[in-house]
Amino acid sequence: MDMTIEALTLFIKSLPASSRFEIISFGTKFQCLSEQICPDQGYLDYTDDNVDKAIKSVRTFKADLGGTEIYLPLNHATKKREDENTFKNKIFLLTDGAVSQPDKVI
């Protein structure tokens, strides 16, 4: 988990300044970071304040959300992005590699 947190922190810091981003932690359930920081937006604008809040939150992540159910959070991310066609969409998926229902995910 430490390597995942470090990688995610690096990803956040490497985003272009004009970006919008979301972090979805997942297991048997999933949680969107924007719901905690900017619940009305559904995403985070790349600001110093949001980056700091995101990194602080990421540093508290634990592998405690149950199994590795990727389909629902991945589906949520792709559906959410279809609504916003003004931005290029990129999804970075960090996992331990144990995927439930791999055929459905693919």
16, 17, 21, 25 alpha-carbon torsion, rounded to 10°: 80
Q: What is the mean pLDDT of the chain?
A: 81
Q: What is the mean pLDDT of residues 28-49?
A: 84
Across 1-5, 14-18, 80-84, least confident range: 80-84
Q: What is the mean pLDDT of residues 38-45?
A: 79
The number of CA neighbours under 13 Å toward the Cβ of 6 is 3
What's the confidence (pLDDT) of residue 10? 92
> What does the block give as tokens for 78?
């792709």
**Interatomic CA distance for residues 15 and 61, integer angstroms:** 20
Write the pLDDT tens digit of every residue in 46-61.
Answer: 999 999 999 998 888 7
The DSSP string of 27-44 is SSSEEETHHHH-TTTSSE
